[in-house]
Chains A and B, each alone.
Chain A
Amino acid sequence: MDKSLTMPISGPAISGSNGSRLQAGPQGKRPRKVLSPRNIIVYGALGLAAIYYLIPLYVMVVTSLKGMPEIRLGNIFSPPMEITFEPWVKAWAQACTGLNCDGLSRGFWNSVRITVPSVMVSIAIASVNGYALANWRFKGSEIFFTILIVGAFIPYQVMIYPIVIVLREMGLYGTLYGLILVHSIFGMPIQTLLFRNYFVSLPEELFKAARIDGAGFWQIYFRIMLPMSLPIFVVSMILQTTGIWNDFLFGVVFTRPDTYPMTVQLNNIVNSVQGVKEYNVNMAATLLTGAVPLIVYFVSGRLFVRGIAAGAVKG
C-alpha cells in the first residue's frame, strides 16, 4: 500500500505513453513467491497429513472394487486391474450374519427406521426444552439442566442396565420404539444445550413484544421461535443423524438380531468367524455403512463443523 504513494512519480517516466493504469503505479499486495521455503514446508506437511487421512478411504474403495483372486495376489494400495461391482451387490443383498443371508440391506432399512424417528423425536423434545430453559425459566430449571449436562459425561455403561429394566417394564425392550426412546434420551443433553444457547442469543425484545401482544408459551414457540431457528434445526439434524446412524452400543444392547441397525450388522458380517473371509465384500459393506454419514458430511460442509463443537461431548 505504501508503495503506491511513491510510485506515481517514477511510473510515467518509464512508460509515458501507456495510459492511466500505470500512472497509478503497481497496485495491491506484493506478489508472494509461490515456492518460498515457508510455503513448501506448510503445504508439504498439510499434503502429507491429507494423504494419511485419505488412505483408508482410498483403500476401502479400491479393495471393494477388486475380485478376491486379485486381492490375494496384489497389494492393498494398488488400483484394481479389473473393476467389479459384484462385492457391492453381494454386500448389499447376500452377505450372511448367522443364518440370515439377505445382506446389509436389512440393516440399512433398520437404521433408517431407527434414525428418522429418533432424530425427529429428539429434536422436537430438545428444542422445546431449550426454549423453556432460555425464555421461561422456572424455579429449579437450571438444576435439571445442570444434571442433564453432567449426565452427558457419564459413561453409558453406568446407565444401561437400569434402562434395560425400565424398558422391560414398559414392554419396549427389544423393539425399535425402545431404541428410539433411548436415542432421544441420550441426545437430549447436547441438543438441549444447542437449542438453549441459540434461543438465548435471539433478541429478547421479540419475546417480550409477543408476550405483550398476549401470546403464550406454545404460540411464541410455534409462531416466532420455530420460524427463526431453521439454521440450528439443520445443525442439530446433522449432528443427530450422523450420531444415531453411527451408534453401536445402544443398537447391540436394545435391539434383537432381526432389528439390528446397520453398524451392528456390519460388525457381525465382517467379524464373523465362520466361512472364508471375503475382504472385498467386507470393504464394500463398510463403505455402504459409512456412506450415509459421509454424504451428510460432504453435503452439509460448514454446518457440520459448527455442530461438532457442541456435539463433540457426545464422543
Chain B
Amino acid sequence: MAAHTQPGRPNQLFRNLNSKIASIPMMLTAVVIFLGGTIWTVVYSFTNSKLLPRLSFVGLEQYERLWDTPRWLVSIQNLATYGCLSLIFSLTIGFLLAALMDQKIRFENTFRTIFLYPFALSFIVTGLVWQWILNPEFGVQSVVRSLGWTTFTFDPLYNSDIVIYGILIAALWQGTGLVMCLMLAGLRGIDEDIWKAARVDGIPMWKTYLFIIIPMMRPVFVTTLVIIASGIVRIYDLVVAQTSGGPGIASDVPAKYVYDYMFFAQNLGQGFAASTMMLLAVAIIIVPWAYLEFGGRKRG
C-alpha cells in the first residue's frame, strides 16, 4: 500500500514493491528451479558423477556412452515410433471426431463426456486397464479365440516387436478426447458464412474440410501439435504401469531410462546426459513454435 507509482522517486527498486514481493515465488521458481535447475543438469551431464554429483568434467564422454548403450537406442526408437504414430493418429482421430460432433448432432454433451472422460484418468489407471484388456490369457485374444478363431494372436504386451503399439492403443484412448475438444473449439471458431459460401459453390463437404477448413485451422493444429508432442517426449507413467518397460527392455522410453539411471543405477552422469537429450528434443519442437507464435520474443 505504501509504494504506489510515484514518478521521480529515486530508488527504482521500491516502485511497485508489493507486486514485486508477491511475485517472489514466481521469480524464484522461474530463475532458481526452471532456469537454474536446467542449467545445473546440463552442466553436470558433462561430469562423471556416479552416486553423488561431482564436478569433474569428462567432456562428452557420457553422451558417447549414452549413444553406445543398446537400451538407450531402443528407447529412442520406441519414442520415435510411438511419437510419429501417436501424432498422426491422435490428430486424425481427434479431428474426425470433432468434425462428426460439429454436424449439429443431438446428445453432443453426452458424446463429449464419453470421449473426454479417459483424459481425467491418470496414466497409471490407463496403463493398468489396458494391461488387463490386452492380457493374452483373459483379454481380447482369449475372447476372440473362444469365438472360434483359435489361432488368433494379439498379445502386444508380451511380444517385444509390437509392444509399443499396445502402449499406443492405451495412449490414444486416454488422449484423443483432448484433441477432439481442441479441434472442436477450432471448428466452432470458423465463420458460418464460409460453409454457406462453400455450399453455394457446390463444393462437396469433404473437400471443404480438406481445402478450406483445415488450412483455416492452422493455429489450432499447431497448438495441438505442440501440446501432444511435448507430452510424447515425457511419456513415462503409462509405460511403467502397462509394461514396466518390458518384455525385457523392449518398451523402454527415455524418461524411464533417465529415472532408472538417476535413482536406481546410481549413475547420475548418464541420467543427466539422457535428460539433456530429452531437453534437446523438446527444444527442437518448441523453439520454432515459440518463434512463430511470439515473433521471436526472447526465449528462456
Contacts and interface: CB of A to CB of B under 8 A. Distances in A.
Contact of B123 (A245, A248, A308): A248
A57 B118 CA distance: 9
B73 interface: no
Contacts of A46: 97, 100-101, 105, 111
B181 interface: yes
Interface string A126-164: 001101110011110101111110110111111111110
Contacts of B50: none
A129 B23 contact: yes
B46 interface: no
Contact of B26 (A125, A139, A294): A125
Size bin of chain B's contact surface = 35 or more
B184 to A, nearest CB: 9
A131 B34 CA distance: 21
B1 A217 contact: yes
Nearest to A121: B25
Interface string B19-55: 1101101110111111111101100100000000100
B215 to A, nearest CB: 22
B181 A158 contact: no
B5 to A, nearest CB: 9
A49 B115 contact: yes
A308 to B, nearest CB: 6
Interface string B173-213: 10001100110010000000000000000000000000000
Contacts of B138: 71-72, 75-76, 279
A82 to B, nearest CB: 18
A170 interface: no
A85 to B, nearest CB: 19
B177 A53 contact: yes
B282 A155 contact: yes
Contacts of B233: 155
A157 B234 contact: yes
A148 B255 CA distance: 22
A150 B286 contact: yes
Interface in A293-315: 293-294, 296-298, 301, 304-305, 308-309, 312-313, 315
Contacts of B33: 151, 159, 162-163, 166, 185
A161 B129 contact: no
Contact of A153 (B18, B126, B230): B230
B26 A148 contact: yes
A109 interface: no
Contacts of A236: none
Nearest to A215: B1
B87 interface: no
A249 interface: yes
Interface stretch (A11-19, A112-120, A199-207, A281-289): A281-289
A151 B138 CA distance: 43
Contact of A138 (B20, B113, B142, B299): B20
Interface string B145-159: 010000000000000
B67 interface: no
A211 B16 CA distance: 13
Interface stretch (B58-66, B160-168, B257-265): B257-265
Given A146-B300, A270-B128, A315-B227, A245 B122 contact: yes
A9 to B, nearest CB: 29
A139 B12 contact: yes
Interface string B133-145: 1010011001100
B297 interface: yes
Contact of B25 (A63, A125, A131, A263): A125
B292 interface: no
Contact of A42 (B41, B105, B121): B105
B18 A136 contact: yes
B117 A162 contact: no
A283 B262 contact: no
Interface of B: 1-2, 4, 12, 15-16, 18-20, 22-23, 25-27, 29-38, 40-41, 44, 53, 96-97, 100-101, 103, 105, 109, 111-126, 128-133, 135, 138-139, 142-143, 146, 173, 177-178, 181-182, 185, 226-227, 230-231, 233-234, 236-237, 240-241, 244, 255, 258-259, 262-263, 268, 271-272, 274-276, 278-279, 282, 285-286, 290, 297-300
Interface of A: 38, 42-43, 45-46, 49-50, 52-57, 59-60, 63, 71-72, 75-77, 125, 128-129, 131-133, 136-139, 141, 143-148, 150-151, 153-163, 165-166, 184-185, 188, 192, 211, 216-219, 242, 245-249, 252-253, 263, 266-267, 270-271, 279, 282-283, 286, 289-290, 293-294, 296-298, 301, 304-305, 308-309, 312-313, 315
Given A166-B33, A252-B259, 11 more contacts: A55-B133, A60-B129, A72-B138, A75-B146, A76-B139, A154-B34, A155-B279, A248-B123, A263-B124, A297-B116, A308-B119
In the A-B complex, the 6 residue pairs with the closest CB atoms: A216-B1, A151-B34, A246-B122, A136-B19, A315-B231, A217-B18
27 contacts: A42-B100, A49-B97, A56-B129, A56-B133, A59-B133, A76-B138, A132-B22, A136-B16, A138-B15, A138-B19, A146-B299, A147-B35, A154-B38, A155-B255, A155-B278, A162-B36, A162-B41, A166-B33, A188-B29, A216-B18, A267-B240, A282-B128, A289-B122, A297-B116, A301-B113, A308-B116, A309-B182
